[in-house]
Chains A and B, each alone.
Chain A
């Protein structure tokens, strides 16, 4: 169509048609329907079905039996494995979240303080974030290998051979070892976000601090951390969600063993659904629902506690 006829149609069309913000229902549907259909069918509906499942016993051959809050009662009061998994996940979440976020801040400050060739380092330090859990998991299984792993080799080299051990094979070290790998994968992510936030800080404030002969530590605690508060909260929440749901790396490295020492809520859900011969999808669904509610509650508490204090203006 030529530009002229287009223009003519534009002029001749009624006023409503030239309001670029108005749209007919058909048009809206055309734009939104694909997204809504996919989303409704394979995200909203599954969530609703999981909630439905959690109040039922779902057995093979489509046998569905209403059990009310029976699943939840068993989980809370008669399932020691669940509580073991909760304990592991809680420990994992608290430690790994704190180390990831504040370690990431440390790395970001390191680059921000103009470490030599910071641009290149930033790219290298971010690399683990891009690797799949399978790649990271296999690499770390090797690092922790008793016979030829890097961890024991380093201990041997620096004369701490007495501490050599089977890192993933022993219940007292397995969870910490998996945690180490998880932290290693995500540190770079937190670093990059902090770095972006640091560069967005107003230069005058840091400059003024410098003029006042403010030391590095004081500058960090009195200026940088308060000004980064929003970023810190965001990252704490993001990291918290990720760790509370941790599955892949645990599954790949230890499968929850040895002796449930690395069992997390997510791996337990998976096992109850597909590995154990309980043949009931209702029970693991109830665990997933319960855990989701707990996560939401914690997010609400965290954002309230951390955000509402006196806001910094700059």
Chain B
């Protein structure tokens, strides 16, 4: 049963709700408006409406700087890393959830201990290692690091879900002569789809936003991912606030679009680690 409030108490509640909605959503609205105004207009009145709306600023930002490169770098890195970490993580999670074998607890402990490893503990050594194997300043290197550092969380979420799939299903499949690979591919994956979808959205958001590994492991301008690109763009267009706002919007819009469609899954994914 949910608590109910007397009508009188609802007024301050609604007022507070409105206040926090403005606090949390307002800044985005402000950036959205600025992204359609020129810097001159913004400096004349920072909080004015976007009239006339300068939509051409979006094509300018996209074409006249390296923005499209940053964007596609992010798309490539994040897509490949998410696909890899999902498949690899699902295989390991399936194995840990389904099979009894000597050392399974050790393997589980080893992989899940990655949950508490802060990136700061890895980053200096990763810098050395990638230099050694000539993957420093390459997108491949960044992908490899992303996969390695996100396996723990992926396995953690997937294993919890896979372990709940009834064993009967697997026994029956085995009786029917499914090979172990077929069982993984044709039973665990489809039945576990909701959990897989959760890890995909979660990993996508985290990696799309990732900054620390990228800033240490990439140096060339044409290799930069979107977060680094915005930083760079901000640095080189310091006073061109209007243009930076447009650049920010280009980074915000994909996330907002996905969020608009999958808000429930994304909320579930982001909180999957904390609620047990």
Interface residues of A (CB under 8 A from B): 1, 3, 5-10, 13, 17-23, 27-28, 30-32, 34-36, 38-39, 41-47, 49-50, 53, 58, 107, 110-116, 121-135, 138-140, 142-143, 148, 150, 153, 184, 187-189, 192-193, 196-197, 203-204, 206-207, 210, 216, 219, 231, 234-235, 238, 241, 245, 247-248, 251-252, 266, 269-270, 273-274, 281, 284-285, 288-289, 291-292, 295-296, 299
Q: Does B243 contact A (CB under 8 A)?
A: no
Q: Which 4 A-B pairs have the closest CB atoms?
A: A6-B177, A42-B148, A132-B209, A31-B95
Contact (A35, B234) CB under 8 Å given A138-B248, A139-B27: no
Q: B60-89: contact bitstring with A at CB < 8 Å (1 yes, 0 no)?
A: 000000000000000000000000000011
**Which residues in A have their C-beta under 8 angstroms from that of B167?**
20-21
Complex Cα gap A83–B66 (Å): 40
Contact (A210, B3) CB under 8 Å given A23-B101, A184-B24: yes
Known: A138-B230, A193-B275. 10 other contacts (CB 8 A): A7-B175, A20-B98, A20-B167, A31-B95, A35-B89, A36-B107, A46-B122, A111-B17, A196-B271, A206-B3
Q: Does B208 contact A (CB under 8 A)?
A: yes
Contact (A28, B270) CB under 8 Å given A134-B227, A148-B46: no
Complex Cα gap A103–B139 (Å): 39
**Which residues in B have their C-beta under 8 angstroms from that of A252?**
211, 231
Minimum CB distance partner of B100 in chain A: A21
**Which residues in A have their C-beta under 8 angstroms from that of B101?**
23, 28
Complex Cα gap A142–B210 (Å): 22
B233 shortest CB reach to chain A, Å: 10
Q: Is A248 in contact with B212, judged by CB distance below 8 angstroms?
A: yes
Across the interface, A115 reaches (CB within 8 A) one of B13, B211, B244, B248, namely B13
**Which residues in B have their C-beta under 8 angstroms from that of A5?**
177
**Which residues in B have their C-beta under 8 angstroms from that of A38?**
88, 144, 147-148, 151
12 A-B interface contacts by CB (under 8 A): A9-B177, A46-B125, A116-B17, A125-B24, A126-B263, A126-B270, A129-B270, A139-B30, A245-B119, A281-B124, A288-B120, A292-B120
